[in-house]
Structure 1
Amino acid sequence: MASTIFFFAILLFACFIPSKSLPIHSKNNHGFTLSLIHRDSPESPFYNHSMTLYERRVASTRRSVARMQQHSMRAKAKSNYKTLDGPDISSEAILDNLEYIASYSIGTPPTKVNAFIDTGFDIIWTLGNPTFDPSKSSTYKTLSCDSKYCLRLGDLRSCPYGSESCAYDMTYDDSSRSYGVFGEDKFTFDDAYAPGKTVDVGYVYFGVNNESSPNFKGSQHGALALDRGLYSLLGQLGISQFSHCFVHPYTIEGAKSRMYFGSNAKILYSFLVPLVQFQSEPLYFVEITGIRVGMTEIEYPSYAFDGGVSVDSGISNSMLTTFVYDPFVSELRNQIKLPVVKGPSDQLELCFQATDDEISKTPEVVLYFFKSTIYLASNVVFEEYSQGIWCLAILRSPSLRSMIGNIQMRNLLVGYDLQVNGISFSSADCNDV
């Protein structure tokens, strides 16, 4: 029966693939690997030297809650209306809440760009001058307003009267705006395994943010979109397999998180979990079939995970809907015999006064999926948010949605295959993958 369900899931996904696909621009028919920098790493261009480790972790929880709220608003907006044959980003997540950065170059001569990767984002864009000036690239190509690739922007398309060049206009959840030109240019990525070597993937469509409203929080960087949308990097290059492995950003100096594309992708097909597909959602959803704390299975309503759980590399903390979060926290309280203390922020609802050794001995937390299991180590279930104060790094969702974040994906090799519509999870030492 299970195999029959999986077969029909694949069949449904095949039916979902857009009939009007973008051309495959890629010159590179093999694979490539990118190094990723966590925003709180000293190597990050956005590193705040004045913040302590604990302050960074607390700030990360606040970004997680904000991002979940934005995803929920986006889903609500999409349920009310749908654009034809193109992305709907009228209610996108604010980039200021993202976590991992990739460096790449655009144009000729190449201009270095630092952008946040996002598996929940469906358009690539970068800040304009001085970050990237299209007029200084000999390979930059504009799109006309009536070209089919401009028309496919749907509600994002913004062509003022008398303008011949394709333009886009994004309105975010906080009513801030970003607008600029939409065109194409050459993209090159640094090879993670060969310092000084680059990988030329050819021409990519992207937006150049020339103007933004004063309250626009994403104006200092850009986005490398990695969802299943038409204009994501995957959609444009025809990439159907990719994977990532996140190291612990605070413990191993010089350790690199990585993302693998194409033939470089590392996917364990024996542990493949079917992706749940929604017509209006280009995100990645899976079905959680159970949660265990120690030897105790958590009881929650059968409808708690209706619609699936999204796998989001852009959010730090995993989040569980209240229907699941309350019994989950109750069981942790019941099993962990350590002093309960108040956390440094309202988002951190369960905190203990403990040593590293005491936290390492807390009960195992296990997530169950169809054909796969994730065993969460104590250092991704709990984080130290103040000296000697360890808090649950899985948060209460502010909505009916649940999400797996990148803290709980540390030292997990996560592989995506969009041809067979599946995702694999396997334990790994991400510094050695």
Structure 2
Amino acid sequence: MDATRRREFIKMSKLRIKSLANLGKNNKTKNDDPTIRPPIRLGSFIYAVELGMGIFDPIPSHKTVHLGFDTASDLIWTQCEGCGNNCFRQVDPLYPASKSITYKEVPCHTECPSGAKCENNICKLETNYGDGAKVESVLAHESFTFETPTTPRLVDFILFGCGLNMQGFHQDDDPNNKISGIFGMSYGARSFHEQKKTVVNGKFQYCLQKKEYQDLPPMLLRFGDDCIQPGKPSATPMFQHQNKPYYYLDLRGIQVNKKDLEIPPNAFQITPDGKGGTIIDTGTSISLVTTSAYQALEKEVASSIESRNSNLERLDDASARYEGFGLCYRRVREPTTLNLPWITWKFANNAIFVMNSDVTFEIYTKHDGQVLVCLKIFENSMEDGDGMTVLGSTQQVGHRITYDIPNGQLLVANEDCNKGR
């Protein structure tokens, strides 16, 4: 990852949290298998769910799309033909909605939902994201085709947005971008699991691979009874707060190499006015930590690095910020090996989430040959994002994560996700 793309990647994680803080019928199948297992593919900035949309002549053909996997927003949408110069770059053709046999726009004056608007007799919805991006889409219903263990399954009448005006999306930075929209999986009413409860059956799960890895078996998004759980997972309460669409967790503390950090007891609590708290979000790439806890984390990580690595020298704050990080070191002498700390997040019910140094540090070589080592977790202040702590997708790598919605719990187990199951 070059410096320009790295800075864009970091910027998106930091900016996304600003919008997170401000947010407050039947299925038909092609087969008898109720199980769907859409692949999750690696994307430049976000993981992507692969699925088919629509029905086209000759029947039963569909168009394959890749939609960013997002557990903190609910709208499903893709870029459609007709967006003109208001699209971001994608290598696949824009979705030809008007040619799909099953595409049906939402009637403007009878079914246009709250938050949308009727414009020229078309039901439109504007959705804003934390990196400053926004999409204006026409709301419609469409059939989706999902992979299963046998033959593909068709799921009818899914509400989605046909994107006609996309602004501020960073996919333009990737000439090979395949992502054309978002697959919303939050608590929100428009999310896939809320629309198709009989398909999802109360649960979904995934196991993410590092974005740097290539040529691995695809990851799978599993639902309901198809969810697997090797070993004994940790379970922690998961809940919604004030009708916000996020999956809140009760974070109790952070460790660095098994040392508990001295963090104010209320650091991760939701304030009476709804600020703060901790969420899990696949759409935020890099985790963010509220200020008081981040300061303790950075201090202990620095102490650990400096006591175990005589070959590293800390960058001053201005130089670290130039690289896009809060804490950075340069390698100034041999050896080339590093001894970096592990970081553990401790949740309610004695659930632990261990992050090895492979996902918590960015190690890269600059054009001038300098090797830099930077902490890949960021501060999130009240001013920047309501002080919310976010468990982002980069730090979720190497864990099988199950969202058990009816029972209000998140299940987590360490796993080699490179197996792609």
Taking structure 1 as the reference length, the TM-score comes to 0.73
Query: Secondary structure in 2 aligned to 1:99?
Result: coil
Aligned position for 2:180:
221
Measure the CA separation in 2 of the matches of 1:133 and 1:423: 38
Aligned position for 2:162:
208
Aligned position for 2:194:
235
Query: Secondary structure in 2 aligned to 1:362?
Result: coil
Query: Secondary structure in 2 aligned to 1:408?
Result: helix
Aligned position for 2:209:
247
Which of 316, 324, 340 does residue 314 from structure 2 map onto?
Answer: 340
Alignment of 1:372-383 (within 5 A): 372-383=351-362
* Residue type at the aligned position of 1:363: P
* Residue type at the aligned position of 2:209: V
1:130-169 Cα deviation digits (max 9, x unpaired): 6222221112223212334x2xx212x21136x2x53334
Which of 347, 372, 386 does residue 389 from structure 1 map onto?
Answer: 372
Alignment of 1:78-117 (within 5 A): 78=24, 99-109=46-56, 110-117=62-69
* Residue type at the aligned position of 1:336: I
Structure 1 residues 185 and 293: alpha-carbon distance in aligned structure 2, compared to 1, 3 A threshold:
same
Aligned position for 1:365:
343
Measure the CA separation in 2 of the matches of 1:365 and 1:173: 26
Aligned position for 1:87:
none
Taking structure 2 as the reference length, the TM-score comes to 0.75
Query: Secondary structure in 2 aligned to 1:323?
Result: helix
Measure the CA separation in 2 of the matches of 1:404 and 1:259: 19
RMSD after superposition: 2.8
Query: Secondary structure in 2 aligned to 1:324?
Result: helix
Aligned position for 2:119:
160
> Which structure 2 segments of 5+ residues have no match?
25-42, 57-61, 82-92, 173-178, 271-276
Query: Once the 2 structures are TM-superposed, how far is the Cα of residue 362 of structure 1 from its aligned partner?
Result: 2.3
Structure 1 residues 145 and 97: alpha-carbon distance in aligned structure 2, compared to 1, 3 A threshold:
farther
Which of 47, 50, 74 does residue 122 from structure 1 map onto?
Answer: 74
Of the structure 1 ranges 333-342 and 394-403, higher mean CA displacement relative to structure 2 is found in 333-342
Structure 1 residues 218 and 283: alpha-carbon distance in aligned structure 2, compared to 1, 3 A threshold:
farther
Query: Once the 2 structures are TM-superposed, how far is the Cα of residue 181 of structure 1 from its aligned partner?
Result: 2.3
Alignment of 1:260-299 (within 5 A): 260-267=222-229, 271-299=234-262
- Paired-residue identity, %: 24
Measure the CA separation in 1 of the matches of 2:49 and 2:246: 20
> Which structure 1 segments of 5+ residues have no match?
1-51, 79-95
Query: Once the 2 structures are TM-superposed, how far is the Cα of residue 97 of structure 1 from its aligned partner?
Result: 9.6
Which of 183, 206, 224 does residue 140 from structure 2 map onto?
Answer: 183
* Residue type at the aligned position of 2:106: L
Of the structure 1 ranges 238-247 and 173-182, higher mean CA displacement relative to structure 2 is found in 173-182
* Equivalent residues, number: 351
Query: Secondary structure in 2 aligned to 1:380?
Result: helix
Structure 1 residues 256 and 173: alpha-carbon distance in aligned structure 2, compared to 1, 3 A threshold:
closer
Contact 1:347 1:396 in 2 (8 A): no
Q: Which runs of 4+ in 1 moved over 6 A?
A: 173-176, 216-220
Query: Once the 2 structures are TM-superposed, how far is the Cα of residue 255 of structure 1 from its aligned partner?
Result: 4.5
